[in-house]
Amino acid sequence: MLKVGDFLQDRYEILEKIGSGGMSDVYKAKCHKLNRLVAIKVLKKEFCTDAGFVSNFKMEAQAAAGLSHPNIVNVYDVVDDGDIHYIVMELIEGITLKNYIATKGCLDNKEAIGIAIQIAQGMMAAHERHIIHRDIKPQNIIISMDGKVKVADFGIAKAISMQTKNSDAIGSVHYIPPEQASGNISDARSDIYSFGITLYEMVTGILPFDGNDAESVAIAHMEQELTPPSRLNSNIAPGLEKIILKCTRKNPDE
């Protein structure tokens, strides 16, 4: 684990740890070459020992680095520094959509639509470059201090999916599309399903499927129909509900 004051490449000074996930730790750092603050996502050691995984991770991260869009967190660099592998990214000062929903309870129609449009614009820009996220969820969406919405971690979930078939690792099971949960091929439509679940949570404050373990939640995504969001929040606009229900159809062709 990196410590405050450590330098990477004699360029990036670690200022503080700002997050941690299943595969990486995230640090706030200062780039002394360009005199700007950045976020650095460092692969955990257990992933670094697998050359195949590191290769896939770098390939997908480099593809994501080619994306440039106001609603996507920019990737500046993908670096091997000895046995440390990391991604240098745009630093967004703000709050995750997950924490924002928890604070608000649920969002009204206007605010939910405004956030959803920005998420969808970021997704569209990536899909046009044939890059699929595979882990769209409120935890991967950041709302900046000025209200800009940005999607983080494009492409990284694919590197994990090449490594393991474990649904927890491939994508957060509460947002996982049926075809991904069943181990079938996922494509851009899979991101749309996860987007629909995210939008459902925005307007209701809860997830449509829950359970005692990951397997039961995954089965629910494959087999159970979700409760229409208007039954949980009568203020949802009919057109918005139609969009949510279309995004979350079980059959990708629909």
Active site residues: 135
Find out whether 64 and 46 touch, Cβ atoms under 8 Å.
no
* Structure tokens belonging to residue 231: 């039954």
**Phi first, then psi: what are they for 44, rounded to 5°?**
-70, 155
Q: Which two tokens stand for residue 52?
A: 């195949």
Bridge partners (DSSP) of residue 184 are: none
Query: Could you give phi then psi for residue 87, rounded to 5 degrees?
Result: -115, 135
Helices then strands, counting H and E runs in the chain, come out as: 10, 9
Q: Which two tokens mark 145?
A: 């201090």
Token representation of residue 46: 């257990």
For residues 86 and 62, give the distance between their C-alpha atoms in angstroms, rounded to a whole number: 11
Which amino acid, residue 210? D
Q: Could you tell me the sign of the dihedral formed by the alpha carbons of 195, 198, 200, 203, in that order? A: negative
